[in-house]
Structure 1
């Protein structure tokens, strides 16, 4: 356990940041799940709309440090190719 005041403060900050990051990660996953569901339903326009709303959310996760930029780029690439294949 943290003993010094600085270490105690860092522990408190870590708890807060963990909660924020958890919420962000969950939000990103929700947007990605919406795209997946639109793809499996076969609705091309819904998939495009879902992908368009998921893109900024993924990039926001990158800028906030929740996700690595290459991971987000890979996810975007794979999803967009699947949406494109729908027609």
Structure 2
């Protein structure tokens, strides 16, 4: 721990931001997992609904800089491809 007051404050602020970011990243991963579960269960309608919810969350946090925009795009692309594959099989 540092001796300078501003450095102490920055350390506290950084820890708060780290915890908040960790929680938000966890939430993004949870939404992605929900879509994957619906895809594995081959529920096309519920997979589309879960994808729509996941897409808005991923876009929101990529805009804020929590995840990179290319990573967000990759998540959406891969999951939409899997959902289209389900609809072709049914």
Report the TM-score, using the length of structure 2 for normalisation. 0.91
Q: Secondary structure, in 3 states, of the residue corresponding to 1:46? A: helix
State how far apart, in whole Å, the 1-side matches of 2:78 and 2:36 are. 11
Question: Unpaired segments of 5 or more residues in structure 2?
Answer: none
Moved over 6 A (4+): none
Structural RMSD (CA): 0.9
Counting only pairs closer than 5 Å after superposition, residues 14-53 of structure 1 correspond to structure 2 as 14-53=14-53
TM superposition shift of 1:5: 1.2
Partner residue in 2 for 1:85? 85
Deviation digits for residues 23-49 of structure 1 (CA, Å, limit 9, x no counterpart):
101111110010000000011111101
- Paired residues in the alignment total 87
Q: Where in structure 1 are there 5+ consecutive unaligned residues?
A: none
1:8 corresponding residue in structure 2: 8
